[in-house]
Structure 1
Amino acid sequence: TVISTANGKFCCPPQIAAILFDKFKDLARKAKENCLSAPDTQLVSVSQGLTRREKQILGLMTNGLSNKEIAKALVIEVSTVKNHVHNILVKLEVHNRIQAVALLKREEQLNSIGTIDALRAGEAYC
């Protein structure tokens, strides 16, 4: 492990890694509470309540596609995309597509925090 460390690799005993992951998990939990728990808002899945097509369009929005590009990709009219985007914004209670995408990305980040428990089961990281 001394040679690995000298070569720039990170080495951490399992006990230390467990402590670090616990601290990180606590910080992430607190951040989640601070970021998402508005006074009259419950933590629910962003896509809950969206139709299959709305979820599909929201996914394309996260890739930065315009309404015209989404319409072309899904072989539908631009006006249909606009209607779906409007419905998405209403259902997510946001004002624009940037906020909708940010909300989805934040949820994805918070969901990835659950993988920390899986990492804790591992051995030393060298």
Structure 2
Amino acid sequence: MHLESNLVDCFDCRILILAGEIDVHTGPKLRTQVFELLDENTSPLLIDMTGVAFCDSAGLAVAAAAQRHARLRGCPLALVGLSARVNRVFEVTGLDRFVATYPTLADAARDLTDSDQP
């Protein structure tokens, strides 16, 4: 299994671009990377999942843990561009009610940088 990531710093947020699969093999490394980014500063972190073809329960666990950590750090966090298949997994498990998801980066950036997030 393979997952690539690339971090882009924007004006008011950071974007972690992912491509590949999030599963039991790639999840732990992704979790560590996301936690480190959340610990660096509190500017919004958008995780672009447009290139993620597969996400299993390990990926859901990473998303849930990342959201909890982001809240503790006071850092807005959102997932962006989930495929229909991945989005369905989030909906079925109810995780979409716990972790903010957006169809586009523009939607997420506008919402997270214009609001009064803690």
TM-score, with structure 2 as normaliser = 0.22
Select the structure with the greater relative contact order (CA < 8 A; seq sep ≥ 6).
1
Instruction: Name the one with the larger strand percent.
Output: 2
Instruction: Name the one with the larger helix percent.
Output: 1
Q: Which has the larger radius of gyration?
A: 1
